[in-house]
Amino acid sequence: MRAWAPPLLTLILLPFAAVSLSRAQTLVVSPSSVTFNAVADSTTSPPAQTVQVSASDGSHVPFTLYVPVPPPYQNLPPVKSPFTFNLSSQTTPATVTIGFTPAQAIINNYQWPVRIGQTLVAISSAFPAAPEVDLFVGAELSMPPPPVITAVVNQASQLPGVSPGELILVLGTYLGADASGLVCSDHGGPPCYYASEAGGTTVTLNGVPAPVISIGPTAAIVMVPYNVTGQTVDVTLTHYGQTAATVRVALAVTSPGVYPDSLLNDDQTRNGPSAPEPAGSALSLTATGFGIWNQPGLIPAAPISVSIGGQPAQIKAEAPPPISVGQLALTVVIPPGLAAGPQPLVFTAGNNDSSQQKLNVYVGDATPVIHAVSNAASFAGIAQAPGTLVSIYGTYRDSAPQIAAVSFDGIPAPVLYAGPAQINSVIPFELSGHASAMAMVSVNGLTSAPYAFNLTDTSPSIFRFGVLNQDSSQNSADNPAAAGSVLQIFATGAGVFIPPLADGSIVPIAPPYPVPAAPVSVSIGGLPAQIEYAGAAPALVAGMLQVNAVVPASLNSGIQRILLTVGRNTDSLEDILVFVK
């Protein structure tokens, strides 16, 4: 929709510098008027014209031009003028170069030819009594060629098909200069909506005005009204009072299409031959032509589904994209086990689908890759001990633990967590006495190459937030432990326990509790701490170590480092601090 404009003489131009006439009595503008001839709404501008500004006595004086705005219009937002003005100098003699852009001209009626214009004033603040000199700039606009509709297609698929609520392209010739139908207002009603007119263009379907999203010289993006009914639709486009011949197309309940540019990988990169996405990963897409919405909740009334490579793709989320109409955003999962390469994507809504669109999703190699095996407490990639909780970092492309498997030297290990880049597990106790091990990860039936790492008898590490006060509250600067009180320390890497613990088992909540085969000691602030308990952590997975240590009574208040030793190894690579009061 074209913005409202004030009357002829109020189109606003940015004023030039302040004026003074030190010696000249008058300014001379020659010629005093210019007129452009152009086709309305054309993007082709006529040649620029020039005007000379001089002082009547030939002197050099500063001057300015401005467009007077009557008081009733001074508080209105400025309207962009179709005329442009460039000064060669702000001192006489000077040349004013005037340009005209027909597509920016506001036309309020279609009585051809349409004449528009504005008057500029040359003034002198130094000599208020000197007469003002006017410069009239105008244009005579002839009727544009009548519009012609050549096709009506789904905006996403670019294939024939019309359904209620769908975004369609009305293709043709000279449908208008680029314009948007988006209207936003802070004065009640919807904050933003698409009007049924944009750039002097309106579209109707079976006589029902349709929201015009945008208009251009060769295409109009239009939303099919929800209340259009029948088996066929007569599409009519009117531009500046001239109506194109009506085009009749079939009307369906749904006519689904997917926007090719909307296919985004899990990391929001565009899916394509150079950026494939492995099977089991998320893929987002945007579609139109799915029919009417089920109110409330904005859920399509027709059942929708997506297949990739002929296999059903799980729909994880569906919702309208922000600030949109007639579109549906979907997040789907590429079917696990799908072969690498281009795989056809089909979006189905109701009884119709997008199979004729011939759209492919590029699937990449989903074989998992291990990058590192690190202690889950310290994150260090040091030699690990049997029973240690570890984080196996890599590329897995799946976040469902039930379809991920881990083994060490062929021994199955529990999976505590599985994500697209990290899997948490526990090194089997059966590897006690081994100097090294091979880790392997399987996801969706695909198995990684073996990853070798070193083993040791113990590799103690305290979890970052694994130090609690005696009352089980988190030890911190605001909640320090008192000297003589007991700290609860949670760690891993203690090695084997006595009696033995089963891999992946949960330690019973009631005693007796298994204890590490290797001796355990703790120092706080460099002083040895009395150990009240050192054994398996009740109700936690086997491999978790709990140590209850007494804060030395002679320890100074403040921040103190805590050091855990199990057997011949310590957590010296960590810097775990405890706050003492």
Q: Based on the fold, state whether residues 423 and 521 are members of the same structural domain.
A: no
Looking at the domain assignment, is residue 476 inside a domain? yes
Query: What Cα–Cα distance (Å) separates residue 371 from each residue in 422, 439, 452?
Result: 10, 11, 10
What's the pLDDT band for 127 if we cut at 50, 70, 90? Answer: low
- Alpha carbons 168 and 223: distance in angstroms, whole number: 6
When pLDDT is cut at 50, 70 and 90, the band that residue 397 belongs to is: low
**pLDDT at site 14:** 33
Q: Which residue has the tokens 């320890």?
A: 555
Choosing from 427, 454, 481, the residue where a domain stops is: 454
Regarding predicted confidence, which is higher, 319 or 140?
140
pLDDT over 50 (residue 19): no
Q: What is the reported pTM?
A: 0.66
Q: Are residues 168 and 131 in the same domain?
A: no
Q: Is residue 1 part of a domain?
A: no
Task: Look at residues 472, 156, 450 and name the one whose alpha carbon lies nearest to residue 330.
Answer: 156
pLDDT for 13 equals: 34
- pLDDT tens per residue, range 492-531: 999 999 999 999 999 999 999 999 999 999 999 999 999 9
Say which DSSP state 260 is in.
Answer: G
SS3 (DSSP) at 205: strand
2 inside domain:
no
Band the pLDDT of 125: cuts 50, 70, 90: low
CATH code of residue 350: 2.60.40.10
Q: Is the confidence at residue 537, as pLDDT, over 70?
A: yes
pLDDT-based confidence at residue 135 (cuts at 50, 70, 90): very high
Percent of the chain that is helix, strand, coil (3-state, to 5) = 5, 50, 50
Quick one: 33 and 98 in the same domain? Answer: yes
Q: Which helix (H) or strand (E) holds 23?
A: none
The domain that holds 549 is classified in CATH as 2.60.40
pLDDT-derived band at 444 (thresholds 50, 70, 90) equals confident
Rg (the chain; Cα; Å)? 38
Other beta carbons less than 10 A from residue 317's beta carbon: 10
Cβ proximity of 200 and 2 under 8 Å = yes
Residue 27 sits in the same domain as residue 60: yes
307: tokens are 């297949």
Residue 3 maps to a domain: no
- pLDDT above 70 covers a percentage of the chain that reads 90
Confidence of residue 77 (pLDDT cuts 50, 70, 90): low
* pLDDT of 51 over the 50 cut: yes
Question: In the structure, what pLDDT confidence band is assigned to residue 131 with cuts at 50, 70 and 90?
Answer: confident
Pairing label, strands 133-142, 33-39: parallel
Q: How many domains does the chain have?
A: 5
Average pLDDT rounded to a whole number, residues 371-394? 93
Q: Identify the DSSP state of 108.
A: -
Of the candidates 142, 161, 178, which is a domain's last residue? 142
Q: Are the beta carbons of 243 and 237 closer than 8 angstroms?
A: yes
Question: Do residues 360 and 373 both lie within one domain?
Answer: no
Q: What is the pLDDT of residues 354-366, one digit of tens each?
A: 999 999 999 998 7
* 560 & 479 share domain: yes
Mean pLDDT (whole number) for 87-96: 90
pLDDT digits (tens, 9 = 90+) for 409-443: 999 999 999 888 899 999 999 999 999 999 999 98
pLDDT in tens, 200-243: 899 999 999 999 999 999 999 999 999 999 999 999 999 998 99
Contact 310, 344 (CB under 8 A): yes
Mean pLDDT, residues 104-123 taken together: 87
DSSP string, 103-159: GG-------SSEEEEEEEEEE-SS-TTSPPEEEEEEEEEEPPPPPEEEEEEETTT-S
> Do 19 and 135 share a domain, yes or no?
yes
- Examine the domain organization and report whether 387 and 410 are in the same domain: yes
Examine the domain organization and report whether 497 and 546 are in the same domain.
yes
Predicted pLDDT at 126: 56
Shared-domain flag, residues 407 and 495:
no
Per the prediction, the chain carries an average pLDDT of 88
Considering the domain boundaries, does residue 546 fall inside one?
yes
Q: What is the pLDDT of residues 185-212, one digit of tens each?
A: 665 555 688 889 888 899 999 999 999 9
Do 14 and 82 fall within a single domain?
yes
Single out the residue of 478, 501, 475 nearest to residue 489, CA to CA: 475
Host domain of residue 120: 8-142
Q: Of the residues 438, 454, 470, which one is the last residue of a structural domain?
A: 454
Do both 74 and 131 map to the same domain?
Answer: yes
What number is the average pLDDT over the span 332-349? 93
